[in-house]
Amino acid sequence: MSAPLRVGVAGLGTVGAGVARLLAENADLIAARAGRAIALVAVSARDRTRDRGVQLAGARWYEDATALAEAPGIDVVVELIGGSEGPARTLVERAIAAGRPVVSANKALLAVHGRALAEAAERAGVALAFEAAVAGGIPVIKALREGLAANRILSVAGILNGTCNYILTRMTEEGGDFAAVLADAQRLGYAEADPSFDIDGIDAAHKLSILAALAFGRPVAFEAVHVEGIRRVSALDIAFAGELGYRIKLLGIARAGEAGVSARVHPCLLPRAAPLARVDGVFNAVVIEGDTVGRVMLEGRGAGAGPTASAVVADLIDLARGRATPVWGGALAEAPSVPMTEHTGCYYLRLMVVDRPGVIADVTAVLRDHGVSLESMLQRGRAPGEAVPVVLVTHETREAAMTAALARIATLGAVLEAPSLLRIEPG
């Protein structure tokens, strides 16, 4: 057997400790599959005294994570610090410049600086591997770059954030209010103390921008992703969606067409029978559509020590065997980004209005003026002079038309709060 692959890990949080534990506990199996041992020889983290549940006595400790880029006796740098700037970016850039392969789970770094890092890695002739950056233990990167390499990818869509999926699942099953379910998710450790990165859709958008680059062979374009989170999804919307035969999920969706690539993250109504509608809790799932293979769905845990460490070590096994795939799968094309205003689809619109004659006629007149036709309407009961919810479902229409209509509807005197608008996906 060849000499061990010597690994330096920067960041010993949940995932870093998971990688160290996996390399130790499955050492024989990993060595057999890699063709040689994979040895953790160096680590870096802020707190030396913290008990991480794994033996690290044999690894050299570096106070400065960026020193791993050029430290002696390291073959591969594993970056698990996180964040698009700071020591994570510096470490990866310096390691690549020093001619060292990098394995990273850092979706923010790749979404913001992926193109520059890929170009640097190509110039240096080193690998930049990031299976763990998207959907944790689900091998979606490998599926796109290898298993589906013969296909022209038409679309990629999925549930890319376990925190949001957990919250929406709980709201659906229990009828709970968003704020209450979020607070419970924080107490249970499924949501961060500051959950904005997750619930505002940023985490999912980082992942989607990476998937879109891989799927469509274009540079990562995080700034072109339309992003909405789940803060405004109410228990009332979830109840109405259920009555209409839908479930609400936060989806990331990227499609390639003649006009270019569209990429969007937002809550959607999905038919209850759609495969993604049945993915619950903290699970992630990705549906890839290829011109030859058709639809392929991958589902599993998208975060946590075990799943993410599994993906990191899978990349290390590839490197140990000398398998290296071009970062984005080959030459990149400058496909234009299609703005959200060009999106076409059906919409769910909920209004809180004063129950009085003529209100619905005023609303439908605005929709008519903007070329929006209605498929159905729900109105529960009567309460003259009181606030009542009204739900409208449209036929297929353009986003720009819906946005303009919504702005006018919001000015109607009988409309008591900002309208709730959700897009409907066919699933």
Active site residues: 207
Contacts of 180 (CB under 8 A, 6+ apart): none
Taking residue 154's Cβ as centre, other Cβ atoms within 10 Å add up to 17
CB 194 within 8 A of CB 185: no
Give the whole-angstrom CA distance, residue 126 versus residue 284: 30
SS3 state at 100: coil
- What residues does 362 pair with on adjacent strands? none
- Residue whose C-alpha is closest to residue 90's, from 76, 115, 69, 112: 69
Residue 425 and residue 376 in contact, taking contact as beta carbons nearer than 8 Å: no
Which residues partner with 42 through β-bridges?
8, 60
Sign, CA torsion 339/344/347/351: positive
Q: What sign has the CA pseudo-torsion 120, 123, 128, 134?
A: positive
Counting every residue, how long is the chain? 427
Measured distance CA(301)–CA(315) in Å, rounded: 18
Separation CA 142–CA 164 (nearest Å) = 25
Contact 81, 106 (CB under 8 A): yes
- CA-nearest of 72, 75, 20 to 45 is 20
Tokens of 285: 């799932």
Scan for tokens 């159905």, then name that residue: 376
The full DSSP string for 329-351 is SS----PPBPPGGG-EEEEEEEE
Tokens of 165: 């999926």
Q: Sheet containing 128-129: give its strands across.
A: 60-61, 38-44, 5-10, 76-79, 102-104, 128-129
Question: Residue 235: enclosing H or E segment and its boundaries?
Answer: helix 235-243
| CA 351 – CA 393 distance, rounded (Å) | 12
